[in-house]
Chains A and B, each alone.
Chain A
Amino acid sequence: MPPPDDQHHHHHGRDHEHGQAPPSDMALRVKALESLLVEKGLVDPAALDAIIDTYEHKVGPRNGARVVARAWTDPGFRQRLLADATAAILELGCDGGLEGRFLVAVENTPEAHNLVVCTLCSCYPWAVLGLPPVWYKSPPYRSRAVIDPRGVLAEFGVTLPDDVEVRVWDSTAEIRYMVVPERPPGTDGWTEEALAALVTRDSMIGVGLALAPETAA
Chain B
Amino acid sequence: MNGAHDMGGMHGLGPILPEPDEPVFHAPWEARVLALTVTGFGWRRWTVDRWRHQHEKIPGADYLRMSYYEKWATSLAGLMVEAGLATRAEVEPAWPAIAAPQTAPEVFAGEPAATPSFKVGDRVRTRNINPSGHTRLPRYARGHAGVVTRLHGAHVLPDASAHDRGDRRQPLYQVRFEAAELWGLDARGRGAVHLDLWEDYLDRA
User: Which residues does A use to contact B, with CB under 8 Å?
Assistant: 1, 7-8, 10-12, 14-20, 23, 26-34, 36-37, 40, 42-43, 47-49, 51-52, 55-56, 60, 98, 102, 104, 117, 119-122, 130-131, 133-135, 137-152, 155-156, 162-175
B43 to A48, Cβ gap below 8 A? no
CB distance from B25 to the nearest CB of A (A): 7
Known contacts A37-B36, A47-B39; is A134 also within 8 Å of B195 by CB?
Answer: no
A32 to B7, Cβ gap below 8 A? no
B19 to A134, Cβ gap below 8 A? yes
For B35, list chain A residues within 8 Å (CB).
47-49, 51-52
A98 to B41, Cβ gap below 8 A? yes
User: Which residues does B use to contact A, with CB under 8 Å?
Assistant: 5-11, 13-22, 24-29, 31-36, 38-39, 41, 43, 48, 52, 55, 61, 64-68, 70, 73, 76-77, 80, 85-86, 90-91, 93-95, 136-138, 140-141, 150, 152, 155, 158, 172, 174, 179, 182-183, 186, 188-198
Q: Provide the bound-state CA to CA distance between A166 and B8, in Å.
A: 16
A172 to B41, Cβ gap below 8 A? no
CB distance from B102 to the nearest CB of A (A): 18
Question: Which of B76, B85, B94, B155 touches A40 (beta carbons < 8 Å)?
Answer: B85
Name B62's closest neighbour in chain A (CB-CB): A19
Q: Provide the bound-state CA to CA distance between A43 and B37, in Å.
A: 11
Question: Which of A18, A52, A151, A170 touches B8 (beta carbons < 8 Å)?
Answer: A170
Q: Provide the bound-state CA to CA distance between A36 and B86, in Å.
A: 8
B86 to A40, Cβ gap below 8 A? yes
For A163, list chain B residues within 8 Å (CB).
190
A-B contacts besides A27-B28, A33-B77, A143-B9, 17 pairs, CB < 8 Å: A7-B21, A27-B27, A48-B36, A56-B24, A56-B31, A98-B38, A98-B41, A122-B68, A131-B24, A138-B16, A142-B7, A143-B13, A147-B9, A149-B191, A162-B190, A163-B190, A172-B197
CB distance from B144 to the nearest CB of A (A): 12
A166 to B15, Cβ gap below 8 A? no
For B65, list chain A residues within 8 Å (CB).
16, 18-20
For A156, list chain B residues within 8 Å (CB).
16, 18
For B34, list chain A residues within 8 Å (CB).
51-52, 55, 131
Name A202's closest neighbour in chain B (CB-CB): B18
For A8, list chain B residues within 8 Å (CB).
26-27
CB distance from A44 to the nearest CB of B (A): 8
CB distance from A142 to the nearest CB of B (A): 5
Name B14's closest neighbour in chain A (CB-CB): A140
A172 to B196, Cβ gap below 8 A? yes
CB distance from B173 to the nearest CB of A (A): 9
